[in-house]
Structure 1
Amino acid sequence: MSQKIKPMISYLLLFLMAVALTGCGSDFFGQNEAPPLPGKRISILTQQRSIEPDSSAAGHKIVLPAPVPNKDWPQAGGYANHAMHHMRVGKALQERWSISVGRGTNDEERLMAQPIVAANTLFSMDSETIISAYNLKDGAEIWSVELTPKEEDDDHINGGLAYENGKVFATTGFGQVIAVAAKTGKILWRRNVGAPARSAPTARGNRVFAITVTNKLFALNSETGAVLWTHSGIEEATNLLGGGSPAVDSGVIVAPYSSGELVALKVENGQELWADSLAGTRRGAASSTLGTIRGRPIIDRGIVFAISNSGQFAAINLRTGRRIWERPVGGIESPWIAGDYLFVISNNTDLLALSRLNGRIFWVTALPEWEDPEDREGKITWTGPILASDRLIVAGSTGEALSVSPYSGKVLGKVEMPDSVSISPIVVQDSLLFLSDDAELVAYR
């Protein structure tokens, strides 16, 4: 038996055992589960420095708001505040269509852009900076346009997309923010920002906000591309992991920088309201010394929630900058909020449920971390979660997506993807959409 096959068999056997123990159904969403009393979750795979639920949370019953339909997904993270709560998808999800949206991740390029949806149209940007528009109903292509200038090489790591008022905005790896007409694909304007942008833009109130790898925030006029104001954070020597899109709500923008800085500014003029730092160190992982905030911060009911790679998860008052609570949890995926609860994947591939009010941890589920757990080879990465119809959805580098109970952390079902998945799925119009690393877009409805 080859050394390559052995690790995969080990991983599959362990995962199948875990699924059997959790009562996972054959359907992707699994069997319905009434919200149970949460208890300590036993890790599927033994992990060092595992996070434990708080003893004070024992017996707590998680109650979530009812799922509601979501019409659009106009930018990375959903809407500008990144607070999407509990969305509805149809029952008995089945794959309805699957299309290629261009070039995916390879040795020189990386697929970074989460698809967005507005006006019944899905927009994507592939690793070669080609934006395409598709009919959301059946995946039929409407138009496609290449953004890379002739004088530029194709080998860039791009940012992402945002939509507002009939325009699609793109951040690119060649240092430009570009506006495209959503109906036709016509390029409306280009704005040089002096450095690559590896996070998606945020669009709100006729302004487009973009952060470059040099930790410079640009506020642009969405009609003309004119620079309205800028703000500079601490410039880092390197930005390996990409970055998080800024969050906007109530006239305030919260910018996450790769230095670990979190800065709140007035949308109108860029005046700084407060600044905090989530930078730090976590023993045992070299990349954790990078304080980068890659996950998108959330603004919800006057509170900012943000997590850094270096091991800080914090809730901060939007107006004053006062910390409400903090937990020693690190991660590079965006947290998810629904009602009074937060869900997040940690750097140790633990999926956690926490209190929005005080940060208490209610349950912890260890997702598979290694393809070969005995030799600790083949590191598995996970993206998500999102919450849809009483299911948390996560997807991973093994090419699988899992559904997990938000009430207990129990794994309920799984489905195979065309390839590994590094971009969190989206929910729109009762559909669940995945984009795999080979640029295959799959719609479940």
Structure 2
Amino acid sequence: MTVRQFVSIPRVWFLSVALVALASCDTFEFLGGSGDVPLPGERISILQGQNRIAPSAQVQNLSIQLPRPQVNEDWPQQGGFANHAMHHLSLADAPQEVWSKNLGSGGDDDEPILSGPVVANGFVFTMDSEAVVSARRASDGVTVWTADIAPKDEDDGNWGGGLAYSSGRIYAGTGFAQVVALDSATGSELWRTSVSGPMRSAPTAFDRKVYAITKDNQLFAIDAERGVVDWTHTGIEEGAGLIGSASAAVDGDVVIVPYSSGEIFALRAENGRQLWSDNLAAIRRVDAVSALADIRGRPVADRGRVYAISHSGRMVAIDQVSGRRVWETEVGGVNQPWIAGNFLFVVSTEGDVVALVAENGLVRWVTSLGRYEDPEDREGLINWSGPVLASDRLIVAGSHGVAVALSPYTGDILGEINMPGDVSVPPILANETLYFQTDGARLIAYR
């Protein structure tokens, strides 16, 4: 492993591009750029015939009320906290782009970057497509250290994996079938543990354990201090699947484990004992794509319920204690659902942003963002990532390099901005700073 310290003079970026702002009178100001203000009115997908998601008449008179925005100092895991429930986060009304930095080697179709940054104690930690981990000051993006964690005999094959932070350490899952622990202050390697196969998602670190899911659907519970495997769990191995996978959610002494087979397990954190299991595979598989049952969106554990979504068109709420299904609905997706108060927000596989009532799964509103850059010819497939809820704005990003803000109350589109590259991982928010990571390994901070 190579560690490099940087002591260069800080360079602060103050650029004129800004994100949308939501005014107190339910209007918005479209700031910066040369784009047009989106036209008012209902957005209707031209592929509406293929869209099975529709608002439920039972909840159309239900007013969406959200908790007040709160400042979260850190974003230590993929998905925020270990349980992936962040609720309503605080962001300025008109955030400005304050810095933009190159993170290292960008991803491509063969070796994509599948996980975003994490933020802790005033630093932003990232990993590029060649397994170089970097720490930067969140204030100005200046690099503090970098660590090349690729094995010396490996030149490629790292794609996937990601980072988690806990108790002064960075834990990196890699495509080299290793989990590596680094000192978050210096980048020095503390331990390195081999697992059964490459990781296509970031580990989850919580309460002195690191939980790593491998491509062959095995979970490794690793002692965070020593790097010793405490216990393992195995799901059904899938031969085919989507690119990437989901990280485990941890809530107290329960670990929620999603596998690419569509299986989801609740395990005891202490010893891996199974509490319950479920399967989100579709009952009706009409084509090869729908047959992919992957749970790529991270599950959410919040207030006694587990919310999970699969690519094959099934979203469920499960009682965390008993494993009983509370409700299920035909919404498919590859992104983590976002819970805030009594509502869930999710991006579907068809490019819809959907608001659901957390109590019963009924759909309150649906807004189509579209699946194609050229809808008429069905060319230029767009993959949307997110959302994140920031001061009364749902923010999503597209693989065509456009970020969009929507009202969580109505689904109305408030505005959009162009990114300096394609974006395939969800934006994150920490200490009132919004971060976008492009596929080409550029990190942009708005504050």
Give the TM-score of the pair, scaled to structure 2: 0.91
Q: Alpha-carbon deviations, 1:200-220, whole Å to 9, x = none?
A: 100000000000011000000
Which one of 248, 252, 255 corresponds to residue 254 of structure 2?
Answer: 252
* Matched-pair contact (CA < 8 Å) for 1:169–1:179: yes
After superposition, give the CA deviation of every residue in 1:81-102 in whole Å (9 maximum; x if it has no partner). Answer: 0000000012211100000011
Match of residue 10 from structure 1: none
- Unaligned runs of 5+ residues in structure 2 are 1-16, 28-40
* 2:50 corresponds to: 49
Q: Paired residue for 2:175, among 173, 179, 203? A: 173
TM-score scaled by length of structure 1: 0.91
Alpha-carbon separation, structure 1, partners of 2:327 and 2:65: 21
Q: Which whole-Å CA distance do the structure 2 matches of 1:111 and 1:442 have between them?
A: 16
Question: For the Cα contact (< 8 Å) 2:242–2:294, is it kept in 1?
Answer: no
Q: Is contact 1:45-1:367 (8 Å) kept?
A: no
Are 1:32 and 2:23 an aligned pair? Answer: yes
Partner AA of 1:270 in structure 2: G
Q: Distance in 1 between matches of 2:126 and 2:65?
A: 35
Q: Which residue matches 1:439?
A: 441
The amino acid that maps onto 2:161 is G
Instruction: Indicate conservation of the 8 Å contact 2:350/2:370, yes or no.
Output: no
Instruction: Tell me which of 115, 119, 122 is aligned to 1:117.
Output: 119
Q: What's the CA shift string for 1:392-436, capped at 9, x where partnerless?
A: 000001101000000000000111101010010111111111001
- Once the two structures are TM-superposed, the CA of residue 283 in structure 1 deviates from its matched residue by 5.7
Q: 1:202 to 1:243 in 2, by over 3 A?
A: same
Say if 1:343 and 1:351, in contact at 8 Å, map to a contact too. yes
Q: How much does 1:373 deviate? A: 1.1
Distance 1:303 1:409 in 2: 25
Match of 2:70 in 1: 68
Alignment of 1:110-259 (within 5 A): 110-259=112-261
Instruction: Provide the rounded CA distance (Å) in 2 between the counterparts of 1:135 and 1:31.
Output: 28
Secondary structure of 1:48 counterpart: helix
**Superposed structure 1 runs of 4+ greater than 4 Å apart:** 33-36, 281-285
Q: Aligned equivalents of 1:299 and 1:107: distance in 2?
A: 32
8 Å CA contact 1:33–1:405 kept in 2: the answer is no
Q: CA deviation at 1:34?
A: 5.6
2:432 maps to: 430
Name the SS of the counterpart of 2:434 in structure 1: strand
Could you tell me the percent identity over the aligned residues? 50
Deviation of 1:42 (Å):
3.9
**Equivalent pairs, count:** 417
Q: Which letter does structure 2 place at the counterpart of 1:322? A: R
Q: Does structure 2 retain, via aligned residues, the 8 Å contact 1:282–1:310?
A: no
Which structure 1 residue ranges, 5 or more long, are not aligned? 1-25
Q: Which moved more, 1:239-248 or 1:131-140?
A: 239-248
Is the partner of 1:351 in helix, strand or coil? strand
Select the residue among 79, 98, 101 that pairs with 1:99. Answer: 101
Aligned-partner SS, 1:344: strand
Aligned to 2:401: 399
TM superposition shift of 1:378: 1.2
Q: Is the 8 A contact 1:280 1:291 kept in 2?
A: yes
Following the alignment from structure 1 to structure 2, what is the Cα–Cα distance between the partners of residues 353 and 87?
A: 17
More helix by share: 1
Distance across 2 between alignment mates of 1:42 and 1:417: 23
Q: Is contact 1:47–1:348 with CA below 8 Å preserved after alignment? A: no
User: Do 1:282 and 1:311's aligned partners in 2 also have CA atoms closer than 8 Å?
Assistant: no
1:6-49 Cα offsets, whole Å, 9 max, x none, are: xxxxxxxxxxxxxxxxxxxx96324436679xxx9542543332
Q: CA deviation at 1:295?
A: 0.3
Q: Deviations over 1:273-304 (max 9, x none)?
A: 00000011666653221111000000000100
Distance 1:209 1:195 in 2: 14
Distance 2:129 2:339 in 1: 29
